[in-house]
Amino acid sequence: MIDEIMNNIEHYETIIILRHQNPDPDAVGSQIALANILREAYPQKNIYIAGIDLSVLDWIGKMQQVDSDTYQNSLVIAVDTANARRIDNNGDYKKADKIIKIDHHPNVDPFGDINWVDDTASSCAEMIYELADKVDNLKISKADAYSLYAGMVGDTNRFLYADTTYKTLEVAAKLAKTGIDISEISLHEDEMSTRVARLEAHILDNFQVTDSGFGYIVIRKDTLEKFNLDDGELDHVVPLIGRIKDVNNWIVVSEKDLNRFRVNLRSKNVSINGVAEKFGGGGHPLASGVYVGSMDEVKALIKDMDNLNK
């Protein structure tokens, strides 16, 4: 699989690296590191990273503006993206001559012409490290190590989650050996604005826990607007309910627009991605997401999540 990926990378003069909507440190870190690794190995090629910038992730890096025409006859590599509709792109990627998918989520949508999917990996960043480690002419700089370590720390919640393996820790140690400031990265991942702190207080005051150990909160649009969050800041509060001992699985529901609800699903042990897929989303067994279009769907999803513990 890696040989096939590299053959295509060597063939194309224009390469555009994309990732999913509402990006997290793994998506951005994988995207930026892969682009820089390839630029170092192939300085004659045109290699771009595209997507919406989020100020909360500026410490990892920023995106580029890529014209629609640039996608013609290009190679698109989509990282950390489980399904095509979540690609952070207005559809220009469909103009590409070939698409490569590199991802660590269950492969429910093999949208690439080439699909390298490893759902045992802790993060896409871990896979990008593996790619560079196995190809002689690909080198990981200190800056690339910073981006990849940020991605690994982000997707494992600082090595808390169950998909953290000995391999994950070995890769993290090798990245740390480059001399990156791992404490700085962890502090970036942990810090929050005053706005987010107040939202966390609101959640702790208002979340519900059922008898089965399912925790949830629904934050309606008018309430959410009071916190005046920057894009991406809401993601910081998603793990909060799970820190409570009596909670086994949980969701954070946020009404982004009128009757358009983003649902983040999480679990400590029971698989929840089947519930997400039922409502049109997906993700990992213990971390998934979906958008739904009504409070009736939200209520149905809450019922299904509660029933998982019974």
| pLDDT per position as a tens digit, 61-118 | 999 999 999 999 999 999 999 989 889 999 999 999 999 999 999 898 999 999 999 9
For residue range 10-22, what is the model confidence (pLDDT) as tens digits? 999 999 999 999 8
- Partners of 101 in the β-ladder: 78, 115
Edge-to-edge strand order for the sheet containing 114-117? 46-49, 14-18, 75-79, 98-103, 114-117
> In this predicted structure, what is the pLDDT of residue 284?
86
Question: Letter for the amino acid at 240?
Answer: L
Distance, in Å, from the CA atom of 109 to the CA atom of 282, rounded to the nearest integer, reads: 10
Phi/psi for 135 (5° steps) reads: -115, 120
Distance, in Å, from the CA atom of 59 to the CA atom of 73, rounded to the nearest integer, reads: 32
Between 218 and 161, name the one with better pLDDT.
Answer: 218
> In this predicted structure, what is the pLDDT of residue 232?
87
What is the token pair recorded at 203? 């959640």
- The two most distant CA atoms of the chain are separated, in Å, by 61
Quote the pTM value.
0.90
For residue range 131-150, what is the model confidence (pLDDT) as tens digits? 999 999 999 999 999 999 99
- Cβ neighbours of residue 117 closer than 8 Å, sequence gap 6 or more: 101, 102, 103, 104, 105, 106, 107, 110
Q: What is the mean pLDDT of the chain?
A: 95
- Cβ neighbours of residue 133 closer than 8 Å, sequence gap 6 or more: 140
